[in-house]
């Protein structure tokens, strides 16, 4: 029962955060504060957590309009005030974020069985934070063809600080017994993976003169290496290129894109990162067994 309550909380927290991430993506593009409503921003007020507003009529929304998933269903996908349709992006992002947060909690559940609740909290909330950044990057790059520095730099800082905490703070204090953690393991694995992944994308940018990849992809690759380490970062990169190729070919076949069309790669990198995070070891074992005779 306690675990059921814990996982239910993670899912509901993910729904709420998904709603907040939608606000961030929308207001970043508008150049607005995601903590202030348009009216408060114009007045110059400096209060926190003002209500969200309808992007069509800019009417501030009440609490009953902001319940993740439930409000969209109850309002039948329309604004209560102007009756304009609400984009399906909002409930989908809420649902997906909730499922990701729940899956992260389940993935880290082995730490609870070790009896190390402290490490579970650290690991889970770090993973949740990076997942939140990835959702923003996925949406923003998909909609606006750019990975904003205001998102990617804080994500890199969070990941880098966490890795340093692993080295200098966690170490022998909260890692479960039987897990061999050395300074060199923690330092070289994620950090060198970050530099290796970003160097690979830098090479692509240089030889293509920025036509195939952008600078934002280099920064995102650095984050991927910090978050995943080696060899999972290879799984993430392979998954991203594979998904990009499949979907790109599909868009061309169905006439949605041409060979000269620009397709944002950030969403594929973000998706590949989550694939590697949840199933990286299994994919690696399957790959090695497949070529073992």
Q: What is the pLDDT of residue 289?
A: 81
Which of 140-144, 180-184, 199-203, 209-213 comes out lowest in average pLDDT? 180-184
Lowest-confidence segment of 12-21, 61-70, 129-138, 241-250 by average pLDDT:
61-70
Among the candidates 98, 117, 150, a domain finishes at 98
64-74: pLDDT as tens digits: 877 888 888 88
Residue 141 lies in a domain: yes
Provide mean pLDDT across the span 22-28.
Answer: 87
- 181 lies in the same domain as 271: yes
Are 82 and 55 contained in the same domain?
Answer: yes
Asked if residue 3 is part of any domain, the answer here is yes
How many separate domains does the chain show?
2
Whether residue 163 has pLDDT greater than 80: yes
Cβ atoms 93, 118 nearer than 8 A: no
- Give the CA dihedral 163, 218, 140, 252, nearest 10 degrees: -130
Task: Looking at the structure, tell me whether residues 94 and 136 fall in a common domain.
Answer: no
Tell whether omega for the bond before 6 is within 30 degrees of 0, i.e. cis: no
Residues 1 and 83 in one domain: yes
**Which of 53, 80, 98 is a domain's end point?**
98
Quick: pLDDT tens for 201-257: 999 989 988 777 889 999 999 999 999 988 899 999 999 999 999 998 888 887 777
Range of the domain at 256: 108-293
Say if residue 172 is in the same domain as residue 126.
yes
**Is residue 74 in some structural domain?**
yes
Residues in the chain: 293
- Span 163-190, average pLDDT: 58
> 53 has which bridge partners?
60
pLDDT recorded at residue 38: 47
Tokens of 268: 């594929």
Taking 50 as the threshold, does the pLDDT of residue 42 lie above it?
no
In a domain, 103, yes or no: no
Per the confidence metrics, is the pTM higher than 0.75?
yes
Residue 273 has pLDDT above 60, yes or no: yes
Kindly state whether residues 126 and 260 are assigned to the same domain: yes
Q: Which residue in 54, 48, 122 sits closest to 86, CA to CA?
A: 54
C-beta separation of 223 from 152 below 8 A: yes
Residues 6+ apart with CB under 8 A from 287: none
The rounded distance, in Å, linking the Cα atoms of 82 and 247 is 36
The domain boundary, picked from 72, 98, 124, lies at 98
Residue 72 lies inside a defined structural domain of this protein: yes
Phi, psi of 32 (to 5 degrees): -105, 160
Q: Are 248 and 263 in contact (CB under 8 A)?
A: yes
Name the DSSP class of 72.
Answer: H
């Amino acid at each position: 029962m306690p675990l059921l309550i814990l996982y239910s909380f993670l899912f509901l927290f993910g729904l709420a955060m998904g709603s907040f991430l939608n606000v961030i993506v929308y207001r970043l593009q508008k150049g607005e504060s995601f903590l202030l409503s348009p009216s408060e921003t114009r007045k110059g007020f400096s209060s926190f957590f003002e209500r969200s507003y309808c992007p069509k009529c800019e009417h501030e929304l009440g609490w009953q309009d902001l319940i993740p998933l439930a409000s969209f269903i109850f309002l039948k996908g329309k604004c209560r005030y102007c009756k304009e349709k609400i984009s399906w992006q909002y409930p989908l992002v809420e649902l997906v974020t909730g499922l990701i947060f729940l899956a992260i909690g389940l993935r880290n559940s082995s730490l609870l069985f070790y009896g190390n609740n402290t490490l579970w909290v650290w690991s889970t909330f770090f993973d949740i934070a990076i997942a939140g950044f990835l959702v923003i990057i996925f949406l923003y790059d998909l909609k606006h063809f750019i990975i904003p520095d205001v998102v990617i730099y804080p994500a890199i800082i969070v990941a880098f600080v966490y890795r340093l905490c692993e080295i200098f703070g966690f170490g022998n204090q909260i890692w479960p017994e039987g897990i061999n953690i050395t300074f060199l393991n923690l330092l070289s694995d994620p950090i060198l993976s970050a530099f290796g992944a970003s160097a690979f994308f830098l090479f692509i940018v240089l030889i293509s003169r920025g036509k195939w990849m952008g600078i934002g992809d280099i920064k995102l690759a650095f984050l991927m290496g910090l978050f995943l380490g080696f060899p999972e970062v290879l799984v993430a990169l392979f998954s991203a290129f594979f998904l990009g190729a499949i979907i790109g070919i599909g868009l061309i076949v169905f006439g949605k894109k041409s060979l000269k069309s620009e397709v944002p790669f950030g969403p594929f990198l973000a998706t590949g990162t989550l694939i590697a995070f949840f199933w990286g070891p299994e994919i690696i074992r399957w790959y090695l067994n497949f070529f073992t005779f």
